Amino acid sequence: MSNIECGRQAAKHFALGEGYRNLNHGSYGTYPTAIRDVLRHYQERIEARPDAFTRYEYREGLLDQSRAAIAKCVNAPGDCIISFSTIYGAFANTLTYLSETTPVGIKQINYTLPLEDDQLCDAFEDTIKALKSSGKTPRVAIFDTINTLPGVRMPFERLINICKTHDVLSAVDGAHGVGMIPPNLAALDPDFFASNCHKWLYTPRGSALLYMPKRNQHLLRATFPTSFAFGSTFAANFASIGTLDEKPYLTALEWRQRITREGKSGEEAIMGYMASLARRGGRAVASLLGTEVLENAGNTLGECSLTNVRLPLDFHFSTGGDTSVAEKIGQWMMRTMILDCETAVNVIVYANAWWVRLSSQIYLTMDDFEYAGQMLQQVCLRAERGDWKH
């Protein structure tokens, strides 16, 4: 098959609607039409011979092929919980539930971005030491590779090493990981690592991976719901957990090898293009709006395919300091951008300001970021006039 150049040529291989600019790929992802065709192929195969496909073709061959492919992608070798204030909401709720139903305590490290990596790592290590000094036992720390909102890179490599130094289990939320950055699990050696594949790897929605080194596999006794292979080997336990549609796992990586950029191909081309476009696009939008990109002095927060730009609205004038009003305005702006401007973005309230999170992708160009900036200008003016009230 022929190579595909990042940018307008790559856009032709996605099913996005005419005139629809998807600068929020990080929320739901999307995948190329070639992968859609492969997915449909497997769907037709299972419907033609349900038992033969599921019991023998899939479980005895195709599943192992998929695992081998994703393992290569991440380079995987064969009574206190610490979290961070930018933790994903679903995880925060899970920790709250655990604190209500078990004796475990939750210690959250609070901070406001932008923050230097050294400051964050020092705060983490100080928290571990303080908990131990007070007679408590920090068992697990949960943190991101890339925060969701705002979308910034965490110094997760250093945080994992700090966990090892202090005998704390590391649980890494890599939802924005595989396909955006190259996580080398053999070198990182986290205790637990989970990542979505549908966000950045171009697989259909519902694809994900869980990595646990063999030393920890005994800690996860069962899947949820419990698999028919309960009590069997760790991998077999995850092979099938009921009537889940498993075909998305079969469509992952070959298409990515066709992508090219400036003489490079595959993962290097994709990740390089997205990271560069996010940096340049974020600066362009910030310049257009007369604001700034969320970044620290070390320029490490933006080492990913997401960028966050402050919107030019006076927070206290518009809201009177009421965060519920701020959320309403933010939701109105996002809805207006998506439905009226045909431009998908993610608007959040953070640190007494509105920010727009923009995702780069191989099917986007600087023109898309500049268009988004122009639309954001108009939407901000409308919000300032109070259009969100109607």
| Residues carrying CATH 3.40.640.10, the chain | 75-201
Biggest CA-to-CA distance, the chain: 65
For every one of its 390 residues, what pLDDT tens digit does the chain have, with 9 covering 90 and above? 789 999 999 999 999 999 999 999 999 999 999 989 888 888 898 889 888 887 778 777 777 777 777 677 667 665 899 999 999 999 899 999 888 988 889 999 999 999 999 999 999 999 999 999 998 999 999 999 999 999 999 999 999 999 999 999 999 999 999 999 998 999 999 999 999 988 999 988 878 888 999 998 887 765 554 554 544 566 555 555 444 455 555 566 788 889 999 999 999 999 999 999 999 999 999 999 999 999 999 999 999 999 999 999 999 888 998 999 999 999 999 999 999 999 999 999 999 999 999 999 999 999 999 999 999 999 999 999 999 998
| Residues carrying CATH 3.90.1150.10, the chain | 4-31+260-389
Please tell me the distance from the alpha carbon of residue 298 to that of residue 71, in angstroms, as a whole number.
31
Query: Domain spanning 75-201 has what CATH number?
Result: 3.40.640.10
Q: What is the predicted pLDDT for the residue at 194?
A: 94
Q: What is the predicted pLDDT for the residue at 76?
A: 66
Torsion over CA of 110, 113, 116 and 122, rounded to 10 degrees?
A: 0
Domain 4-31+260-389 matching CATH 3.90.950.10: the answer reads: no
Residue 363 contacts by C-beta under 8 Å, 6 or more apart in sequence? 7, 10, 11, 13, 14, 16, 22
Of the CA atoms within 13 Å of residue 104, those in its CB half-sphere come to: 19
Residue 343 contacts by C-beta under 8 Å, 6 or more apart in sequence? 20, 21, 23, 337, 371, 372, 375
pTM exceeding 0.75: yes
Q: Supply the DSSP symbol for 245.
A: -
Q: What is the predicted pLDDT for the residue at 208?
A: 86
The residue written with tokens 């309230």 in the block is 349
Q: What is the predicted pLDDT for the residue at 56?
A: 79
Burial tier of 97 (Cβ tally within 10 Å: 0-12, 13-18, 19+):
exposed
CB neighbourhood size of 81 (10 A)? 21
Q: What is the predicted pLDDT for the residue at 9?
A: 96
